[in-house]
Amino acid sequence: MSAINITNVAVLDNPAPFVSPFQFEISYECLNSLKDDLEWKLIYVGSAEDETYDQLLESVLVGPVNVGNYRFVLQADPPDPSRIREEDIIGVTVLLLTCSYMGQEFLRVGYYVNNDYDDEQLREEPPTKKMSRLPQPLLLPNHLMNNNNNNLMSMVKRRLCLISHQNQRNHDNFLKPSLVEKTG
């Protein structure tokens, strides 16, 4: 029997603009008290052909945790479009949510991400050079700001669809009270 059972992972704000943060509400139960932290990661696959374009959007440690039911929201900034090949900005890619205990991954949830223009005319006649026309809203971190960008990226919507959920053997441990809300 596993020490940790993931009871639900809900994608919040789906679909959403490309430039919006990702948000996942994660619920789980702990059947045995755990001493060490769990590491949750959110990874955006920037290219199916080359792992160097993958972006680690967030990595958080949560722990230790006692027996009980828990829920928290994992929020991550969107991927940096300047680190995605131009031909891979629009279209389908993958987002991976993983959880590890003591360096050993025991959960992997995969989502298809479909990035497409929200505007019908742009879908029919996409710009010839996408990257030079990608705007960044004022709320993005400074390193993502670019004076050469315009409002095209705000017209790109992403839609997530669950593709796989792989729960591997659990180990014994878990969670930080400031990041987790105890339920029930």
Mean pLDDT for 65-80 is 94
- pTM summary value: 0.74
Structural domains counted in the chain:
1
Mean pLDDT for 46-73 is 92
**In angstroms, rounded to a whole number, what is the distance separating the alpha carbons of residues 107 and 173?**
14
Dig out the tokens for 10 from the structure. Answer: 């809900």
The domain containing residue 149 runs over which residues? 4-172
**How many Cβ atoms are within 10 Å of 24's Cβ, its own excluded?**
23
Residue 82: give its domain's CATH number: 2.60.40.1490
Higher pLDDT, 153 or 61: 61
**Structural domain contains residue 93:** yes
Q: Which pLDDT belongs to residue 149?
A: 36
Instruction: Decide if pLDDT at 42 tops 90.
Output: yes
As a whole-number percent, the residues of the chain with pLDDT over 90 amount to: 41
**In angstroms, rounded to a whole number, what is the distance separating the alpha carbons of residues 63 and 80?**
29
Q: Which pLDDT belongs to residue 129?
A: 62
Give the 3-state secondary structure of residue 137. coil
Rg (CA), the chain: 18
Contact by Cβ (8 Å): 109, 97: yes
Contact by Cβ (8 Å): 75, 61: no
Instruction: Decide if pLDDT at 143 tops 50.
Output: no
State the residue for tokens 């991927």. Answer: 79
Instruction: Decide if pLDDT at 6 tops 80.
Output: yes
Q: Which pLDDT belongs to residue 162?
A: 67
**Structural domain contains residue 48:** yes
**Structural domain contains residue 53:** yes
**Structural domain contains residue 179:** no
